[in-house]
Structure 1
C-alpha cells in the first residue's frame, strides 16, 4: 500500500454539503494524479461525474442507512467489459492494493464529519468491485474505519 500524505490531499465540497452536514445524501469522488501522487476528494450530494472517466480508477463512496445503522458503500469500476481479463485482473489487484490508502484519504478528508458523528467510525465499509467478469465482480465487508486505524 502507498503511504498517505495529508498534504497531498485536496478536499472540495459541492452543492449544499458542508464539513458536517448532511450525512445522507453524502457522496465521495476520489481521483488522483499518477504524475504527482496528489489526491482529490470531492464531497457532494451526488458524485462528481464531471471528474469521472470510466477508463480511469476513481473511487466512489456514499453513506447509506439500514434501520438505525449507517454503513459506507464504495464502488470500484474494475472494468465495464472494455478490457481483456488479464487487464481487468491487473486493475483488480491495483484496486485491492490501493484501497486502504483511498479509504484513509476519504476518512481524513471528511474528518470533521467523523468528529461530529463519532459513531460513523464503527460503520461497516462495504466494497463493491464492479466488473463484467464474475471472478472480479464481488461485494466485500472491509471492516470499519475504526478497525483501519488500529
Structure 2
C-alpha cells in the first residue's frame, strides 16, 4: 500500500487474526525502515517487539462500553535525559499523523467489516520518565484518517 510521499506500507496479518476480525486482542506494531521510506505493520495477537523499542508505534483496540471502542496507540519516549526525551517526543509528534494513517489504512478491510469502529477515538500514550512527555492524548477519530 502506498501512503504517498514515497512511503510504502507493508502489512502482515498473523493468524488466528483475519483481515476482518476479531476486534479484541488485535494488536498493532508499526516499524519504520532506517530511511523512513518504508513502514512495516504487523497485526497479531501479540506485539511484534519484545522488549518495546523506541520509535515503534504499538496499539490495540480497547473496549469501553456496549459497541464503543478506542484505538489506543503508544510509543516509548524513554528514560534518558530531558533533552533527549524532548527531542524524541517532538520527532514522534511529527511522525504521528503518518503513523496513525498507516495503522488505520493498513487495516482498512477490518474497518470496512466493523463500521461501528469508524467513530472510535484514537488515543496516543507517550511513555516517559519525564512528566512533560508522560501523557495520553486523544488524537482524532478513526474516520478522519481513512484514505
TM-score of the superposition, structure 2-length normalised? 0.90
The equivalent of 1:11 in structure 2 is 11
> How far apart are 1:96 and its partner, in Å?
0.8
Alpha-carbon distance in 2 for matches of 1:98, 1:124 = 19
Structure 1 outlier segments of 4+, above 2 Å: 3-7, 147-150
Paired residue for 1:64, among 48, 62, 66?
Answer: 62
Alpha-carbon distance in 2 for matches of 1:127, 1:75 = 5
Paired residue for 2:125, among 119, 122, 128?
Answer: 128
The equivalent of 2:77 in structure 1 is 78
> Going by fraction, where is helix more abundant, 1 or 2?
1
Alpha-carbon distance in 1 for matches of 2:146, 2:17 = 26
TM-score of the superposition, structure 1-length normalised? 0.88
Structure 1 unaligned segments of length 5 or more: list them: none
Query: For this pair of structures, how many residues does the alignment match?
Result: 144
> Going by fraction, where is strand more abundant, 1 or 2?
2
Root mean square deviation, CA, Å: 2.0
Deviations 1:33-55 (A, max 9, x none): 122610000000111125x653x
